[in-house]
Structure 1
Amino acid sequence: MQSAVRKAALRFVPLLTIAYLFNYLDRTSLGFAALTMNKQLGLSPGQFGLAAGIFFAGYCTFEIPSNLMLYRVGARRWLARIMISWGIVSAATAFVVGPNSFYALRFLLGIAEAGFFPGVTFFLAAWFPTQFRTRMLAWFLVGIPLSSLIGGPICGLLLQLDGIWGIAGWQWLFIGVSLPCIPLGVLTLRWLDDRPENANWLSHEERDALDAVLAAEVRERPPASWLAALMDTRVLILGAIQFGFTLASYGIGIWLPLILKEYHLSNMAIGWMSAIPYLFASVGMILWARYVDRNGRRIVNLAIACLLGGAGLVAPIVSGSLALAVIGFSVALVGVTAARAIFWTIPTRFLTGVAAAGGLAFINSIGTVGGFAGPSMMGWLKEFSGSYIVGLTAMAAILIAAMVASMSLKLVMTKE
């Protein structure tokens, strides 16, 4: 079984991690595009925040239908379709001419991407036994901090292409981070297998051993309908928790370049400086996930991660120092990214089959509303107060509330 897990990890996880890197990059690159796009298109902070957030209206609306379709046609085909369609729509964002076209394409992009993350979570649960799942999810989720670690400098460089062939730098940015998603989708169609029994690159012994372990886990968790999963108290609490750390993740990720601009840095310097917190977040998430796989106590660690996320935001709130602000954002992002990796191993402990497909999508759709609320809230509060401090304070408070919700989850879970 160990050899089968090792082969599957090497075959699937690097590809899915790279795909998620681009998936997240086409969201966070928006903050870099705003450095020049907002002025050229005449977008106010509120309009930009609304456009950043409206993506999640389309995403959440189509999340459950998308994941139920994935369950019907198979993860391999559906994940490939998602990647190809989001690459096309995201690249088209280079041609927006004002707020209305910007809103429309952001909404369409949300529809195109709907179901990707819970679909990958469902796929990994179909391949990896519980004792490996946190690490596999962490390696997949490292695409988030890597998208800013690598993407920050890349976005800064793409902005320097301003004027080449009459195309603005922010337009080059959207094209450059979007088009690679199309060949990634084609590769996914060729490289993934829906279940171990479909994998001809495993030996018969490896397939049988892995199938036996996964089947035993399913027998311990009798399947339910997807409607029953939607009414499960544990699912509702998990959705609230994910709302909290997702709000903070996107609130920081999309607005961080503009917050750093307040320290009078060049666009290139912002690209490099914004990568620092994500370097620490990448390392911290992997190490924390390994610790949780070995020692358990997932819910307690989830609560600690949310608390750390809120505490880290104190430094940029109370300090006018660039160095302290970067340290604070680094601590906050370690907490937020670790929370995400730990979090997604919890629902797959009690959801299986179509209940997992529907339940995971429902959790993600509730939580992903935070992806709308975070950027939008930061934009509105910036316009209202003239400062980013109020928005950062609100994010810190919401992360503390997510910590409290995490501890309440322990009361309704039958086992840790």
Structure 2
Amino acid sequence: MKTIPINDADESAIAQRCLARVRLRVIPVVMLLYFVAYLDRNNVGFAAPELRHDVGLTAASFGFGAGIFFIGYFLFEVPSNAGMHRFGARRWMARILVSWGICAAALALVRSAWTFDLIRFLLGAAEAGFSPAILYFFTLWFPERERARALGFFVLTQPIANAIGAPVSGLLLSMDGILGLHGWQWLFILEGIPAVVLGLLAPFLLTDRPEAAAWLPDDERRWLAGRLRDEAGSRTAAADNGFMAGIKDRRFMVYAALNFGLICGVYGLSVWLPTIVRALSGMTALGTGFLVLVPYSVAAVATFVVSRRAARTGKIAQHASISIAVAAAALVGAGLTLPVSAVASMACLCVACAGIYASIAPLLAMPSGVLCGAGAAAGLAVTNSVGNLAGFLSPYAVGLLKGWTGGDRAGLFFLGACLVATSIGVFFYARHRPEGLLRTVPASPL
């Protein structure tokens, strides 16, 4: 059959319709899945005071147990992403969701420090591969220029999950005594169930690749598949894109180190923020839940604005570096104002949350543009798994510093120092690299 030529205006219209349809179909599902993941990963921070009291955990032992999640995550991340590449998004994400939902609910069985450590480790092993699988999934659906914006919506889920999860967790903690269970047990059980349900629905909600998308019209499906093929071809011409190539590529290790520094701030703050806010305000668990909503709401707005601006200008490394620097300064400010003014300290925590979460999407967009195919799946798993070791280090380190000093200032200074180093690293390494300065790739002919 003879192909009918299509002019630039028609092709641009097809591209706009296609990307709008893909955004509407793919992003809400991914946001919902990640919302549940982030809720189950971080709800331990809201349960901390009651859990520590009932089980007898010190600040250091709680920080260790909260962070050991990421050891399980690290050990199983690369094998899990290999499974994602082998079996496809629908089946593999279903497996991840069901297994982590069961482990999340099982935290209600904690009776001692070692059972807390064990179940948190198993939760990390079960969820391993989910975040890099999403990043890899986005490379299969979004052209490079569009990817930073799509990742912005993905990352936006994190502060939204914390903002919504804060009052919800506070309400669930108030169920203390119902059916003989503690409030923190209800929190883990009721927030673990949605992951299992979504796991059963995942095969019906996700499509592995554009070529299999019956919900896309033929012209849009051909355009998107061709555009992604062109971008993959431009990278394949310059590099081996096999699975082992992604593991060996040094660029992914550099981004893993930068991701490590950022995640120190993300999880060091998210795990301990409810405790810090509760100490500042003197409120109950429910009141603290509503108050913690404020910094995460500010972070959600900042994430949306910065990710869109980074995608529009293409200067994603610059946006990441500046956002991280702002967060670092705000964490130091929060530490300095803790003994002086609760209001000033809370304001600094709001700015810190905004800077941290606004930087995630631009930082994640860079390694996703290094390779394609199996190489991207492996490399993104390396970046995420090594980086997520900070999720073990930072809550534990903050817990140790809190135990040694009897306050929160030293922990905030530590997190600020981690972010300063990360901001400098992003600025000097990625600012002038191709993946740090987005380029426009010519559209594929239909």
- Coarse TM-score class (shorter-chain normalised): over 0.9
Q: 2:73·2:125 contact (CA, 8 Å) conserved in 1?
A: yes
C-alpha change, 1:253 and 1:259, in structure 2 (3 Å) is same
Name which of 383, 387, 408 aligns with 1:363.
Answer: 383
Aligned-pair identity in percent equals 38
What aligned pairs does 1:303-318 form with structure 2 within 5 A after superposition?
A: 303-318=321-336
Name the counterpart of 2:414. 394
Name which of 57, 70, 76 aligns with 1:43.
Answer: 57
Name the counterpart of 1:75. 89
- Deviation for aligned residue 1:179: 0.5
Question: Matched residues in 2 for 1:171 and 1:237: separation?
Answer: 40
Name the counterpart of 1:184. 198
Residues 1:353 and 2:373 aligned together: yes
Q: 1:315·1:327 contact (CA, 8 Å) conserved in 2?
A: no
Give the AA of the match of 2:187.
Answer: L
Q: For structure 1, which segment, 351-360 or 130-139, has the greater mean C-alpha deviation from structure 2 after superposition?
A: 130-139
Question: Matched residues in 2 for 1:11 and 1:366: separation?
Answer: 31
Name the counterpart of 2:243. 226
The secondary structure found in structure 2 opposite 1:387 is coil
Name the counterpart of 1:329. 349
Name which of 260, 270, 275 aligns with 1:258.
Answer: 275
Q: 1:229·1:359 contact (CA, 8 Å) conserved in 2?
A: yes
Name which of 163, 166, 183 aligns with 1:149.
Answer: 163
The secondary structure found in structure 2 opposite 1:365 is helix
Question: Matched residues in 1 for 2:385 and 2:432: separation?
Answer: 21
Q: 1:237·1:405 contact (CA, 8 Å) conserved in 2?
A: no
Q: 1:240·1:405 contact (CA, 8 Å) conserved in 2?
A: no
Q: For structure 1, which segment, 150-159 or 256-265, has the greater mean C-alpha deviation from structure 2 after superposition?
A: 256-265
Name the counterpart of 2:400. 380
- Deviation for aligned residue 1:2: 2.0
Give the AA of the match of 2:293.
Answer: A
TM-score normalized by the length of structure 2: 0.91
The one-character-per-residue Cα deviations of 1:382-413 (angstroms, maximum 9, x if unpaired) are 11111111111011011000011102323783
- Deviation for aligned residue 1:309: 1.3
Question: Matched residues in 2 for 1:414 and 1:36: separation?
Answer: 48
Name which of 125, 131, 134 aligns with 1:120.
Answer: 134
Question: Matched residues in 2 for 1:188 and 1:140: separation?
Answer: 17
What aligned pairs does 1:92-131 form with structure 2 within 5 A after superposition?
A: 92-131=106-145
The one-character-per-residue Cα deviations of 1:70-124 (angstroms, maximum 9, x if unpaired) are 0011111111111111111100110111111111111100110000000001001
Residues 1:267 and 2:281 aligned together: no
Give the AA of the match of 2:148.
Answer: T
Name the counterpart of 1:247. 264
The one-character-per-residue Cα deviations of 1:217-243 (angstroms, maximum 9, x if unpaired) are 001111423333333332121111111
Name which of 19, 32, 47 aligns with 2:46.
Answer: 32
Give the AA of the match of 2:406.
Answer: G
- Deviation for aligned residue 1:27: 2.0
The one-character-per-residue Cα deviations of 1:240-286 (angstroms, maximum 9, x if unpaired) are 11111111111111101111222222211110111101001101101
Name which of 140, 143, 146 aligns with 1:132.
Answer: 146
Q: For structure 1, which segment, 228-237 or 108-117, has the greater mean C-alpha deviation from structure 2 after superposition?
A: 228-237
Question: Please, what is the CA RMSD of the aligned residues?
Answer: 1.3
Question: Matched residues in 2 for 1:143 and 1:246: separation?
Answer: 16
Give the AA of the match of 1:340.
Answer: I
What aligned pairs does 1:54-69 form with structure 2 within 5 A after superposition?
A: 54-69=68-83
Question: Matched residues in 2 for 1:104 and 1:414: separation?
Answer: 42
Residues 1:407 and 2:416 aligned together: no
Question: Matched residues in 2 for 1:146 and 1:42: separation?
Answer: 31
Give the AA of the match of 2:30.
Answer: L
Q: 1:51·1:106 contact (CA, 8 Å) conserved in 2?
A: yes
Give the AA of the match of 1:66.
Answer: S
Q: 2:317·2:431 contact (CA, 8 Å) conserved in 1?
A: no
- Deviation for aligned residue 1:332: 1.0
The secondary structure found in structure 2 opposite 1:62 is helix
The secondary structure found in structure 1 opposite 2:140 is helix
Count of residue pairs the alignment pairs up: 416
Residue ranges of structure 2 left out of the alignment (5+ in a row): 1-14, 438-446
Name which of 193, 198, 220 aligns with 2:207.
Answer: 193
- Deviation for aligned residue 1:202: 0.9
Give the AA of the match of 1:86.
Answer: W
Give the AA of the match of 1:54.
Answer: I
Name which of 301, 306, 309 aligns with 1:291.
Answer: 309
Question: Matched residues in 2 for 1:414 and 1:207: separation?
Answer: 27
Q: 1:76·1:188 contact (CA, 8 Å) conserved in 2?
A: yes
The secondary structure found in structure 1 opposite 2:388 is helix
- Deviation for aligned residue 1:31: 1.1
The one-character-per-residue Cα deviations of 1:344-376 (angstroms, maximum 9, x if unpaired) are 111122210111000000000111011111111
The one-character-per-residue Cα deviations of 1:126-177 (angstroms, maximum 9, x if unpaired) are 0011121111111111111011110000000001100011111000010121
Give the AA of the match of 1:65.
Answer: P
Give the AA of the match of 1:70.
Answer: M
Name the counterpart of 2:443. none
Q: 1:90·1:174 contact (CA, 8 Å) conserved in 2?
A: yes
Give the AA of the match of 2:368.
Answer: T
The secondary structure found in structure 1 opposite 2:111 is coil
Question: Matched residues in 2 for 1:134 and 1:414: separation?
Answer: 14
The secondary structure found in structure 1 opposite 2:24 is helix
Name the counterpart of 2:320. 302
Question: Matched residues in 1 for 2:140 and 2:32: separation?
Answer: 20
Q: 1:53·1:372 contact (CA, 8 Å) conserved in 2?
A: yes
Question: Matched residues in 2 for 1:150 and 1:414: separation?
Answer: 37
